[in-house]
Structure 1
């Protein structure tokens, strides 16, 4: 796990900048709240609001990110008011929390903006429980949220807007349908059912910290689509929480809420959350758990028994998510995996066609954006096959095939990147053989996705010693697509996982 964390690629040091900017933005928000005379509760609320504003907003353009950031308080403040007003009404509070869960997940159907607003709404209600917010505290909490979102925006769009220097990467929506066939609809129902289980059982475990169980269920559903993805994420959340609690016993508890070291370690945890989020959910949860422990230390309530309770509530939340994805409108792994693989293969063809058009002299062709889309799709493929390649998966043949498919898709991506790099060279010229090779790539993709004739892709011609670089990449791409036919199909023509 350590090797994966520190050896993971970070093109353009994007993750490093993402994490460093988060520490700057959240630190500025906390300082501004302190200068405004807010209490510790207000400062914590502001810091968490800034964290969410910097972490959850993922629109494809800077303008879109700015609009979503501006909308966060419009969603969060009414939810914060409801949570505070219902503080002493457990039944109404619980039902309202479940409604926020369902609406927050359902909002994903509207893309990255819906996802961001849904997460912010949920976390606003959660933070109100975390801090035991009451109606009398609302003016201060409103001000803290507004100031902190403004500080986060000032850093993100003013002091450190590195997105302007990067091509916008499209956010890929999950495979969709209509009615109950729509993934977001099914997930909204699943998440609400799982959260209801977590709420009831969590209150039996602790009437004061029950919301931890609901929070665990919610975050297990974030950025997952299929049953398998959700189960793997639940396992990783539990593992990260266990390790984080162990580290908290060694670090956070001995500090006893000492301000300076706790704040410094909290900043380290914030950096870790942002730096590890794209690489390891287990590491991210370790950082989240330790951050929560440090905050409880600052609030003066941290003790070993509280950490044991957090572990128990996390287990309840994970169990709620497990039961929901298994028995409530399950979204099977093979359905989602097949859909993502098909979309990735179609993206391979689109990248090839765009690069070929650029080589042919079309100035409007933009293969770089197509490559960004392909990278997003391959990330989703890796996430969807994670349950199949997990060490605990006993189905060895399925695991082997899933690994082979992932490796060959990565090989396709490498050849595409090479092709696009050649196409970007102004001196690169069109070769008459490119059209034939592109046609073969299209035919291979159609054969694999079922969009054309149902036939096995033919192997690419052997590489000639003096063939142009673009043609060499196309031949490499053809070979990878031809090799994909075997692991993607069984003799009966079934899918990767439906064996």
Structure 2
């Protein structure tokens, strides 16, 4: 796990800049809240608002990110008002919280912006429970949210807008559909059901900290699509929480809320959340857990029994998520994985076509943007297949096939990157053999996905014989891509009773 975090590639040091900017933006927001005369509760609210503004906004363009950031208070302030106003009305408060959960998940159908606004709405209601917000504190909390979002925006779009120098990363949309066939609709129902279970059982365990269970259910559903992904994420959340509680006993509890060392550790936790989020959910949850413990220390209520309660509530939330994805409109891992593999293979063909056009002299062809899209789609494939390749999965045959699929997709991506690099060379040229190779790649993709991944279509795919590559780099990369696509037919050729991943 350590190796995965600290040895994972960080092209352009993007994760490092992401985390460093977060510490700067959130720290500045908290300082300004303090200078504005806000209480500790106001500073905590402001810090969380800045964290969410910097963490959850993932639109593909800087302009889109700015629009989404500007919309955050429009969503968060009414939710905060509702949470505070219903503080003394438990039934209405709980029903409203569940409505926020369902609406927040359903909003993902509108892409990154809907996802960001849904997360902000949920966390605004959550922090109101965390701070026991009441109507008389609303003006301060509203002011803290607005000030902190503005501060985060000033850092992100003014002081340190490194995205302007980078190509915008494409964000794949979730699989489509209509009605209950739409994944986001099913997940909204699942999340609401799971959160309802967590809320009821969490309140039986603790009338004060029940919202931890609802929060655990919510965050297990974030960035997952299928049943298998959600189960794996629940396991990783519990593991991260357990390790974080252990660190809390060693670090947070002995501090007794001391301001300076707590502030230093809080900054380290913020850095850890942002730096590890893209590579390890377990590590991110470790940092989130330790951050929460430090905040409770500053509020003067941290003790070992509170940590034990957090673990219990996290387990309840995870159980709620598991029950929901197993029994409420389940979304099978197989169907979702197939959808992402289809899209990745289609993108492979698009990359090849763009590279061939560039080699033919087209000034408008842009294979580099297609490669970026392919990387994003392969990331989604890896996330979808994660349940099958997990060490605890006992289905060894499917595990081997899934690993083979991932390896061949990575081989194809490597050949695509090589082809694009050759296409960028002004001395490279186009010939008839290159066009023929591109046609063969298109045919291979169509044979794999054009007929719904049926075995009959794959029977016509043949693996090309090895070919010397030294003198013809573009053809060599295309030939390697042909081989990877042809060899994909074997692990993807499975009878309906034995899909690539469990249904």
Q: Is the shorter-chain TM-score for this pair beyond 0.5, marking a shared fold?
A: yes
Post-superposition offset of 1:451: 4.1
Q: Deviations over 1:74-130 (max 9, x none)?
A: 000000000000111110000000000000000000000000000000000000001
Post-superposition offset of 1:241: 0.2
Matches within 5 A, 1:80-95: 80-95=80-95
| Distance verdict in 2 for CA 1:232–1:466, change over 3 Å | closer
Post-superposition offset of 1:468: 1.6
Output the CA distance in 2 between the equivalents of 1:458 and 1:351. 22
Indicate the residue corresponding to 1:463 in structure 2.
Answer: 467
Query: Contact conserved, 1:338 with 1:495, CA < 8 A, in 2?
Result: no
Unmatched segments (≥5 aa) in structure 2: none
Post-superposition offset of 1:461: 4.0
Of 494, 498, 503, the residue aligned with 1:490 is: 494
Query: Contact conserved, 2:199 with 2:213, CA < 8 A, in 1?
Result: yes
Indicate the residue corresponding to 1:192 in structure 2.
Answer: 192
Post-superposition offset of 1:425: 1.4
Indicate the residue corresponding to 1:75 in structure 2.
Answer: 75
Report the RMSD for the aligned CA atoms in angstroms. Answer: 1.3
Q: Deviations over 1:399-449 (max 9, x none)?
A: 000001001101111111111111111221113211010011011111111
1:431 paired with 2:431, answer yes
Q: Which moved more, 1:446-455 or 1:4-13?
A: 446-455
Q: Deviations over 1:270-327 (max 9, x none)?
A: 0000000000000000000000000000011100000000000000000000000000
Post-superposition offset of 1:498: 5.8
Indicate the residue corresponding to 1:45 in structure 2.
Answer: 45
Q: Which moved more, 1:169-178 or 1:71-80?
A: 169-178
Aligned partner of residue 412 in structure 1, secondary structure: helix
Query: Contact conserved, 1:83 with 1:128, CA < 8 A, in 2?
Result: yes
Q: Deviations over 1:190-213 (max 9, x none)?
A: 000000000000000000000000
Aligned partner of residue 174 in structure 2, secondary structure: coil
Output the CA distance in 2 between the equivalents of 1:168 and 1:417. 18
Q: Which moved more, 1:454-463 or 1:200-209?
A: 454-463
Indicate the residue corresponding to 2:26 in structure 1.
Answer: 26
1:285 paired with 2:253, answer no
Post-superposition offset of 1:356: 0.6
1:481 paired with 2:485, answer yes
Matches within 5 A, 1:77-476: 77-451=77-451, 454-456=457-459, 457-476=461-480
The two structures have a TM-score, normalised by structure 2, of: 0.98
The two structures have a TM-score, normalised by structure 1, of: 0.98
Q: Deviations over 1:157-187 (max 9, x none)?
A: 0011000111111111111111000000000
Aligned partner of residue 177 in structure 1, secondary structure: coil
Q: Which moved more, 1:366-375 or 1:462-471?
A: 462-471
| Distance verdict in 2 for CA 1:465–1:236, change over 3 Å | closer
Query: Contact conserved, 2:105 with 2:188, CA < 8 A, in 1?
Result: yes
Post-superposition offset of 1:491: 5.9
Query: Contact conserved, 2:25 with 2:151, CA < 8 A, in 1?
Result: yes
Output the CA distance in 1 between the equivalents of 2:494 and 2:103. 40
Post-superposition offset of 1:459: 1.6
